[in-house]
């Protein structure tokens, strides 16, 4: 299990799940916040990965 | 009469729930720290409690499986010390891992830093969960 994107996805899944359940009370709101956080994590990881790609270090 | 009833109302509203005694709150926080989600389950928040009970230990065990390190409380290296405090927040999973001598960490493994991140974040998330359980116990939520 050394796929970086898979590990990033797992991490994003757990963190957004816990935050969504912690910060919202109804399942609908939890799903909405969790989905937004999960999407945000993945997008940020993907974009930052490509931005850092040409860097020599 | 009106003044009397207003005063009665405000004191009733300001009063903490009967269960929110300091000793009970300490016990609640220790239980919530030891078993992630137990503080919520104890106070009837079943859905939240079950999610925390599953997510935090799984995150911690994943961190161990990814060759993460259980950092020693060694404050000569500040980052290691802080990581140790963060991991300590996981509660029983951390204690079990310490007792079973797991989490020696494989620095050469490509997933070592991922493992550390999973374990540190699991502990920090559990600290937030304990604070949330405390807030519920105080009647703030």
pLDDT at position B82 is 96
pLDDT tens by residue, B22-79: 889 999 999 999 999 999 999 999 999 999 999 999 999 999 999 999 999 998 999 9
* pTM greater than the 0.95 cutoff: no
Q: Which residues of B touch A18 (CB under 8 A)?
A: 51-52, 55-56, 125, 128-129
pLDDT score for B16: 52
Angle at the Cα of B64 (from B92 to B114), degrees rounded to 5? 125
DSSP state of A25: -
User: Three-class SS of residue A55?
Assistant: coil
Give the per-residue pLDDT at B5: 45
A27 neighbourhood in chain B, CB within 8 Å: 47
pLDDT at position B28 is 95
Contact A11 B132 (CB under 8 A): no
Q: What is the pLDDT of residue B76?
A: 92
Planar angle of CA B84, B88, B93, nearest 5 degrees? 125
Q: Would the pLDDT of A56 be above 60? A: yes
Reported as a single tens digit per residue, the pLDDT across A14-50 is 999 999 999 999 999 999 999 999 999 999 999 998 9
Mean of all residue pLDDT scores within chain B? 88
Give the span between the Cα atoms of A55 and B87, in whole angstroms. Answer: 32
In this predicted structure, the answer to whether residue B133 has a pLDDT above a threshold of 70 is yes
Residue B116 — very low, low, confident or very high, per pLDDT cuts 50/70/90? very high
Q: Report yes or no: B55 at the A interface, CB cutoff 8 Å.
A: yes
End-to-end CA distance of chain A: give it in Å, rounded. 24
Confidence band (pLDDT; 50, 70, 90) for B17? low
Give the one of A1, A15, A27 whose C-beta lies nearest to B121's C-beta.
Answer: A15
pLDDT at A12 exceeding the cut of 50: yes
For every residue of chain B, DSSP letters joined together read -HHHHHHHHHHHHHSPPTT--HHHHHHHHHHHHHSTTHHHHHTT-HHHHHHHHHHHHHHHHHHHHTT-B-----TTSHHHHHHHHHHHTT-HHHHHHHHTT--B--TTSTTHHHHHHHHHHHHHHHHHHHHHHHHHHHT--
Query: Is residue A57 helix, strand or coil?
Result: coil
Burial degree of B22 (CB within 10 A; 0-12, 13-18, 19+):
exposed
């Amino acid at each position: 299990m050394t796929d970086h994107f898979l590990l990033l996805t797992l991490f994003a899944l757990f963190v957004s799940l816990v935050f969504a359940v912690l910060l919202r009370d109804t399942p609908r709101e939890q799903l909405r916040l969790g989905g937004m956080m999960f999407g945000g994590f993945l997008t940020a990881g993907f974009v930052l990965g490509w931005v850092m790609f040409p860097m020599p270090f | 009469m009106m003044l009397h009833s207003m005063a009665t109302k405000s004191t009733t509203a300001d009063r903490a729930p009967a269960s929110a005694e300091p000793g009970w709150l300490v016990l609640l926080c220790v239980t919530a720290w030891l078993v992630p989600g137990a503080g919520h389950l104890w106070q009837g928040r079943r859905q939240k409690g079950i999610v925390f009970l599953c997510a935090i230990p799984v995150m911690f065990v994943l961190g161990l499986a990814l060759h993460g390190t259980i950092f020693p409380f060694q404050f000569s290296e500040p980052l290691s010390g802080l990581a140790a405090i963060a991991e300590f927040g996981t509660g029983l999973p951390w204690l079990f891992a310490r007792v079973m001598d797991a989490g020696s960490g494989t620095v050469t493994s490509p997933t070592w830093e991922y493992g550390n991140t999973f374990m540190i974040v699991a502990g920090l998330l559990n600290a937030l969960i304990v604070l949330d359980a405390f807030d519920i116990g105080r009647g703030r939520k």
